[in-house]
Amino acid sequence: MRGTQLNSDVKKSIDWAVLKHLWPFLSEYRGRVALAMMLLIAAKGATLAGPFLLKYIVDGLDNPTQTAVGFWMLPAALVTAYGMARFSAILFAELRDTVFGRVTERAMRRVGLAVFRHLHTLELDFHLDRRTGGLSRDIERGTNGVGFLLRFFVFNIAPTLFEIAMVSGILLFNYGASFALVTVLAIVAYVVFSFKTTEWRTRYIREMNRADSNSNTRAIDSLLNYETVKYFGNEEYEAKLYDSALADWEQARRKNRLSLFALNIGQALIVSAAMTAMLLLAAGQVEQQAMSLGDFVLINAFMVQLFVPLNFLGFVYREIKGAMANIEQMFELLARQPAIEDLPNAADLQLTDSEICFDGVDFAYRSDRPILHGVSFTIGRGQTLAVVGPSGAGKSTLVKLLCGFYRPDSGAIRIDGQDISHVTQQSLRAAMGVVPQDTVLFNDSLLENVRYGRPDASDEEVETAIATASLSTFIASLPDGLQTRVGERGLKLSGGEKQRVAIARTVLKRPSILLFDEATSSLDSHAERDVLTEIKRLANDHTSVVIAHRLSTVIDADCIVVLEAGRVVEQGTHRELLQRNGLYAAMWRVQLSHRDDEGD
């Protein structure tokens, strides 16, 4: 059964070290950050002024004969000042968020771009093993998590702690140790409970995220293989698999919801108990006329003002924990080192004759399963070399090695005498034009898919490449012409049409070396003849490597290399290999008999 299990490592602790990756995004906008901090201080000052104004309002209303404080302390003026303080707190907070918004948005953009670029540097094995749906969801959640951390860690955690310290100090110095003791005990109980419970809850956040990624992967995998599902009538089977993944997600969501309920109820109990204790103390002081009614209101206002940010601190902490869980996978991707990297002293490939030499190349994808053994051959300037052999002989591996996707375990691959392990990958691949067996196109127009060979090419150059690949007649028959969209992975085009698009791309790129990896193996005879004609025309005056399954397609090659079990067992022209009556001759006879059978 095709499936993925939830990662068993959902209980590991958060790695707070990833926060250091956020600092460069803050330092880039020091001016904006400083202005936002000033607005933050102004907002907190207005917030702290509110309870004092409220105290004087209540005391003035409770004893209207007291006018010694002057005109500006009259109730009407105080009410106006209180309203302005409330408005100022909100205004400064909104301005702060607006100023800092640019920092957050740019950071999300930069992180998203960094991850995207990094993914393109990772080795081919990573992309062969990846789960596209889960990977895209991890990146989406991680990018959003970065924005959350920048906003709340900088402008909520530190300011909330500052506000708690100010309120606690005011209560201590103005109203005595008993009020301070209740405040301190409540804060300690609240913080310890919130942090411990949030740590406990993090496992359910991770489990929910993994279940979400798995269900998304399942859906995308099934939809990408829509035709296969239809061919086998497995719609209900796919629905059951998807429902199973959704069931895991539902269970994880339920655990997360119940754990959040426990956290919220515990926090509410602590807040309610502390508020009750503080108001009982204050009511007793008012009863004994040790403080005024305004002081009672001030203490109540400060307690509310204390626990609102404290409650928000609990929310922010658990959200930060959730955000950290979200970005862990993304930063793990960023921390992953590519298996193939340019050497420190790597230089650009310098082409003269485009001569290719494999010198005693050994290679294995896994140490316990070697693929190539001492492969050696040379392709001269402008020559075409064909590689043939049984399935699994290692033919396509040669192309991957030549393109630098992997490096030989021993031996060397040289182009014009330069070991390709010592040149930059960008310059190496710039010299290559590849027509693969399975041409995968982007879900864009035909024009843009061909232009992908050289993105800065003009429309006229694209049309010339299209004409060279004999695509013009086909495109002229389409209602939308060059603007026709090819569908997901080019599914709207036939195999021959996609191969011609691949050839047009390669023509547009103008490479020095051409690689054809079984470019006609999936085509019918008519389409194969047409595509072979274009390939031969394209290969003129180029050094070419042709991986072939059908021997009839390479009889004109300057040299044919026969691979068997990863070893070169024969080399020569078509005629020479037939005369040797070895493996190549046996393969030729088998294919001839198949053609005769098809003719019958």
Q: What CATH number has the domain bearing residue 446?
A: 3.40.50.300
Question: What are φ and ψ of residue 549, in 5° steps?
Answer: -100, -40
**Coil, strand or helix: which one is 526?**
helix
Quote the percentage of the chain above a pLDDT of 70: 82
CA 82 to chain centre: 48
Same domain membership, residue 153 and residue 224: yes
Work out the average pLDDT over 101-110.
78
* CB-CB contact of 388 with 560 (8 Å): yes
Is residue 522 very low, low, confident or very high in pLDDT (cuts 50, 70, 90)? low
Question: What are φ and ψ of residue 386, in 5° steps?
Answer: -105, 140
**Separation between Cα atoms, residue 138 and residue 143, nearest integer Å:** 9
**Separation between Cα atoms, residue 66 and residue 262, nearest integer Å:** 50
pLDDT at residue number 14: 55
**Separation between Cα atoms, residue 374 and residue 359, nearest integer Å:** 7
Question: What are φ and ψ of residue 194, in 5° steps?
Answer: -65, -45
Work out the average pLDDT over 37-62.
77
- pLDDT, tens digit, for every residue of 253-294? 888 888 888 888 888 888 888 888 888 888 887 777 777 777
Residue identified by tokens 């310290």 is 165
- pLDDT, tens digit, for every residue of 407-442? 999 999 999 999 999 999 889 988 888 888 777 788
Same domain membership, residue 563 and residue 547: yes
Q: Give the structural domain span for 544.
A: 346-431+512-600
**Separation between Cα atoms, residue 219 and residue 514, nearest integer Å:** 37
**Separation between Cα atoms, residue 185 and residue 198, nearest integer Å:** 20
Is 12 or 421 the better-scoring residue by pLDDT? 421
**Separation between Cα atoms, residue 350 and residue 348, nearest integer Å:** 6
112 exposed, middle or buried (CB, 10 Å; 0-12, 13-18, 19+)? middle
Q: In what order do the strands lie in the sheet with 432-435?
A: 432-435, 513-517, 543-547, 384-388, 559-564, 567-572
Whether this model's pTM surpasses 0.85: no
pLDDT at residue number 408: 92
pLDDT at residue number 235: 82
**Separation between Cα atoms, residue 51 and residue 89, nearest integer Å:** 13
**Separation between Cα atoms, residue 333 and residue 328, nearest integer Å:** 9
CB neighbour list of residue 487: distance below 8 Å, 6 or more residues apart: 443, 493
Q: Is the pLDDT of residue 541 over 80?
A: no
Same domain membership, residue 573 and residue 461: no
Q: Report the relative pairing of strands 410-415 and 543-547 from DSSP bridges.
A: unpaired
- Say if 549 falls within a structural domain: yes
CATH number of the domain that residue 133 is part of: 1.20.1560.10
How many domains does one find in the chain? Answer: 3
pLDDT at residue number 525: 63
Q: Within 13 Å, how many C-alpha atoms sit on residue 90's CB side?
A: 5
**Separation between Cα atoms, residue 99 and residue 208, nearest integer Å:** 34
**Separation between Cα atoms, residue 387 and residue 394, nearest integer Å:** 10
Q: Is the pLDDT of residue 34 over 70?
A: yes
pLDDT at residue number 166: 77
Same domain membership, residue 237 and residue 213: yes
pLDDT at residue number 345: 87
- Say if 569 falls within a structural domain: yes
pLDDT at residue number 7: 40
Same domain membership, residue 460 and residue 388: no
Work out the average pLDDT over 130-148.
70
Same domain membership, residue 177 and residue 67: yes
Indicate the DSSP class of residue 393. S
CB neighbour list of residue 591: distance below 8 Å, 6 or more residues apart: 550, 551, 552
Same domain membership, residue 581 and residue 557: yes
**Which amino acid, one-letter code, is at 449?**
N
Same domain membership, residue 386 and residue 319: no
- pLDDT, tens digit, for every residue of 466-520? 888 778 888 888 888 888 888 766 667 777 788 888 888 888 888 888 888 876 6
Q: Which residue, 492, 510, 528, sits at the end of a domain?
A: 510
- Say if 7 falls within a structural domain: no
Tokens of 188: 């300690």
